[in-house]
Amino acid sequence: MNKNICICRGSRRGLRPAYLKNSAKKTRRILPVLLLSTLCALAACALFDGDAELKKLAAEMPLEVKVGQLFMVGNLGRNLSSEENFSKFHFGNVFLGHGDINRLDAARITELTAKLQSLAERHNGIPLLIATDQEGGRVNRVKDGVDPFPSQEEAGAGFSIKEARSTAERAARQLRALGINTNFSPVVDVNTNKKSHIAANGRSFGEDPETVAKFAAAYLTGYKKGGLIGCAKHFPGYGDVAPDPHKSLPATGKTLSRMETCELVPYKALIKKRKVDLIMTAHLMTPAVTNDENLPATISWEIMQGLLRDRMKYKGVIVTDDFNMGAMSREIPAGELAVTCVNSGVDILLFVGKPETQKRARDGVLEAVKDGRITKERLDESVLRILKLKKKYGLLRGPAG
């Protein structure tokens, strides 16, 4: 088995995970920003040969590292690059939010992402997904080193599909040059409620689901061409609900058959055309679908596994919307919430802020795997999907030559 893996920001010889390494010392170098996009594209030349090697890699990962791959943490400011996050809790992915990068210039953002990848290399040997929200318009976390990015409402109203694709590609190359490899965009919520928080912030391509599908596909194609992982959000859809999920839990009374004529249309098109590799959940009540008035879609087996995976045949990675949002109950312990979510079919749990909550959630999942509430088979399903995603975008590769 080829036991060497590396991240595109690392050494030519590759990096060996601590649990696979031999006595050879690793070389660490931070590549110049201007060369990053090129090197990440070239990484595809040395990708692992197939899923078999990824399965072997996953099989040799310590349990703590596996569980860490299921978490994305962020908005922690100075604590984001804490050694403990990677040495003890082994968090496998990072989100850069307002509190992390709002006041940083391009050089400091690049320095931060390089430091984060170095920490992950040192302790886990698996590169991070480093994500942000760069939707356009009001939702642009990165302020320096990138071109102004219009809102999706503006794009849907005034862009051609070609212009949308080229705009997304340009944004992708600029984010990758900063060390950001994942963008939680595009929003594919269909704007059917003018009072929704999606409409109020210009975050939807429009009210026609077919138009939303076309523009979402254009953005995802542009992102991929620029080496960036795009993410369709928020499944099954916030476009019809008025309450802001950042503040409270919204609900829709729509049945599945009604959703299939509107909210689910873009997702069906993207999945069928294999345009989407990452989908974000919605903290949304769907009682007409789940027959449960207390279970948000994010932690619902009926929505995540039953609908998205089994019925709609989605095989990619599912990431949650932030668990720190007001829509998620504070009455349910973080560990229990995380366990329910993993068992629903979700792969990556996004926890922004509150380090103690992140750690309780991680500990809850770890203990659940140990005592069988989460099967090892279920854990390995998510780990393998995450590794495949990292491999596909040139983050995980064998040694050159």
Residue 17 within any structural domain of the chain:
no
Give 395: exposed, middle or buried? Use CB within 10 Å, 0-12, 13-18, 19+.
buried
Distance CA 241, CA 151 (A): 20
Residue 388 within any structural domain of the chain:
yes
Say what the pLDDT of residue 243 is: 61
Catalytic pick among 246, 283, 310, 363: 246
Residue 200 within any structural domain of the chain:
yes
Question: How many alpha carbons lie under 13 Å from residue 141 in its C-beta half-sphere?
Answer: 21
Residue 38 within any structural domain of the chain:
no
Catalytic pick among 133, 240, 277, 321: 321
Residue 51 within any structural domain of the chain:
no
At 207 the three-state DSSP class reads coil
We report the CATH number of the domain holding residue 387 as 3.20.20.300
- pTM of the model as a whole: 0.86
Does the annotation count 321 as an active-site position? yes
Say what the pLDDT of residue 241 is: 77
Say what the pLDDT of residue 331 is: 66
Say what the pLDDT of residue 326 is: 53
- Residue 88's CB is within 10 A of a number of other CB atoms, namely 14
Say what the pLDDT of residue 397 is: 66
* C-alpha radius of gyration, the chain, whole number: 20
At 135 the three-state DSSP class reads strand
- Blockwise average pLDDT, block size 10, the chain, 401 residues: 37 34 33 37 41 91 97 92 95 94 94 97 95 94 90 96 97 98 97 84 94 98 98 91 66 93 97 97 92 89 97 98 72 90 98 92 98 98 98 74 24
Amino acid identity of 234?
H
Count, residues in the chain: 401
Residue 142 within any structural domain of the chain:
yes
Say what the pLDDT of residue 50 is: 67
Packed helices 33-42 and 161-177: angle between N→C axes, nearest 10 degrees: 110
Residue 9 within any structural domain of the chain:
no
Say what the pLDDT of residue 183 is: 98
The number of distinct structural domains making up the chain is: 1
State the residue range of the domain holding 87. 63-392
Contacts of residue 3, Cβ cutoff 8 Å, sequence gap at least 6: 16, 20
Residue 21 within any structural domain of the chain:
no
| 337 token code pair | 């919430």
DSSP state of 79: G
